[in-house]
């Protein structure tokens, strides 16, 4: 089969690799029908995730058709169409039982495209198939449900729920790429008073307005902290969501929030960021971080199926699976291409 293989920082190739086979009795082999690229894949290619070994097939999001299962798989059968989640859950360890499969100690967690071969391929081996895939809902499109593999549950859980967004809150979203736009979408479920999008690119700020932001700030030209002080009568944002993964954006978030405010960090950081406790402690600031657990995926599936969330609008560019390298080029240069999420199909 063909797959997108990582060969060390800055190096990747769409090349021939062996077909996956059932290894453990809880595995499923899934034919990849539709797949996307994540900002985390770009972080891997930059060398920000050194535990990813050369030779690894990248990718952790897909819609596919089950073609084979291990003897221990009980609820997934060949022919089923499924959402392959970015998080694999053994379902038995303490973290899985507590609703935190992102921290699974039974062989799961974020493993696809990270510690084992991933989804950017013609076929993928999915461990713990019963607890790591979701039935494809009737009446939905692939590109809608594909957005529930990662960006929507990540933004919802790590940004909106960790940040305790509530009715009437002023929410500042720093970085409005795919995750930031997903955070705006998820925050809107809680009727905030203001959602303020902050970015360096005017094109992304225009996209943020379409996704529900009522104010935008280009932080390359304007003072974002002063803007938010003006909007909030000098108090600051109730919640600041970091959706970039660089030190400057994290430190900006800590300056944007009011006393008693919350900073919810979603971004994947490859370098240290300074935590200014000398000024944060006295303001009662809460800082949260996290890897998505995907416990919200069933809820989000129901919301998308009921057309309460328009997930399809994240998909801006479409490619054939064989055009993987072209898709990476498009996704990696959103300022030039306008890409939010790319969708690759057979």
**DSSP letter for each residue of 52-90:** SPTTPBP---EEEEEEEE-TT--S--TT-EEEE-SSB--
Q: Using alpha carbons, list the distances in angstroms from residue 136 to 133, 140, 185, 204, 316.
A: 9, 8, 22, 30, 22
215: region left, alpha or beta (phi > 0 left; psi from -120 to 50 alpha): beta
Question: Is it the case that residue 115 has pLDDT exceeding 90?
Answer: yes
Query: How confident is the model over 258-281, as a mean pLDDT?
Result: 95
The pLDDT confidence band at residue 34, using thresholds 50, 70 and 90, is very high
Do 30 and 94 touch, CB atoms closer than 8 A? no
List the domains of the chain with CATH numbers.
2-150+293-345 (3.90.180.10), 153-288 (3.40.50.720)
pLDDT at 270: 85
Query: How confident is the model over 140-152, as a mean pLDDT?
Result: 97
Sheet holding 237-242: strands in order across? Answer: 215-218, 194-199, 170-174, 237-242, 257-265, 286-288
Q: Using alpha carbons, list the distances in angstroms from residue 183 to 53, 89, 227.
A: 30, 24, 20
pLDDT at 335: 85
The 3-state DSSP composition of the chain as helix, strand, coil percent (nearest 5) reads: 30, 25, 40
How do residues 179-221 score in pLDDT, each as one tens digit? 999 999 999 999 999 999 999 999 999 999 999 999 999 999 9
Share of the chain above pLDDT 90, in %: 98
**CA dihedral for 93, 98, 99, 102, sign (positive or negative):** negative
Query: How confident is the model over 160-176, as a mean pLDDT?
Result: 98
Give this prediction's pTM: 0.95
Distance CA 32, CA 203 (A): 32
Q: Beta-carbon neighbour count of residue 46 at 10 Å? A: 11
How do residues 36-70 score in pLDDT, each as one tens digit? 999 999 999 999 889 999 999 999 999 999 999 99
Distance CA 77, CA 89 (A): 18
How do residues 318-341 score in pLDDT, each as one tens digit? 999 999 999 999 999 998 999 999
Q: What is the mean pLDDT of the chain?
A: 97
pLDDT at 193: 98
pLDDT at 242: 98
Rg of the chain on CA atoms, in Å: 20
Distance CA 176, CA 55 (A): 31
Return the beta strands (E) in the chain as ranges.
2-6, 12-16, 28-36, 62-69, 81-84, 123-126, 133-135, 170-174, 194-199, 215-218, 237-242, 257-265, 286-288, 315-320, 341-345
pLDDT at 112: 98
Query: DSSP secondary-structure letter at 322?
Result: G
């Amino acid at each position: 089969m063909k797959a997108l293989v990582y060969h060390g920082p800055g190096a990747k190739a769409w090349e021939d690799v062996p077909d996956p086979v059932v290894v453990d009795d809880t595995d499923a082999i899934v034919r990849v029908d539709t797949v996307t690229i994540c900002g985390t894949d770009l972080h891997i290619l930059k060398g920000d995730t050194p535990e990813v070994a050369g030779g690894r097939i990248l990718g952790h999001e897909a819609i596919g058709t089950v073609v084979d299962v291990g003897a221990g798989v009980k609820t997934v059968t060949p022919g089923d169409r499924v959402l392959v989640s970015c998080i694999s859950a053994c379902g038995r360890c303490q973290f899985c039982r507590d609703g935190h499969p992102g921290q699974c100690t039974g062989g799961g967690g974020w493993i696809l495209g990270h510690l084992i071969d991933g989804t950017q391929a013609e076929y993928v081996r999915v461990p713990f198939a019963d607890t790591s895939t979701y039935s494809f809902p009737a009446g939905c499109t692939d590109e809608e449900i594909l957005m529930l593999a990662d960006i929507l549950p990540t933004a919802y859980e790590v940004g909106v729920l960790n940040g305790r967004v509530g009715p009437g809150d002023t929410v500042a979203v720093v970085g409005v790429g795919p995750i930031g736009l997903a955070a705006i979408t998820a925050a809107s479920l809680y009727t905030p008073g203001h959602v303020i999008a902050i970015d360096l690119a005017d094109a992304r700020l225009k996209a943020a307005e379409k996704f529900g932001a009522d104010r935008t700030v280009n932080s390359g030209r304007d003072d974002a902290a002063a803007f938010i002080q003006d909007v909030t009568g000098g108090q600051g944002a109730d919640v600041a969501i970091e959706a970039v993964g660089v030190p400057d954006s994290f430190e900006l978030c800590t300056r944007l929030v009011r006393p008693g405010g919350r900073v919810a960090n979603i971004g994947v950081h490859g370098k240290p960021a300074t935590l200014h406790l000398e000024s944060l402690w006295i303001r009662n600031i809460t800082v949260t971080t996290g890897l998505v657990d995907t416990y919200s995926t069933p809820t989000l599936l129901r919301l998308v199926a009921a057309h309460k969330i328009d997930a399809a609008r994240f998909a801006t560019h479409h490619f054939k699976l064989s055009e993987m390298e072209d898709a990476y080029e498009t996704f990696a240069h959103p300022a030039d291409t306008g890409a939010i999420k790319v969708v690759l199909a057979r």
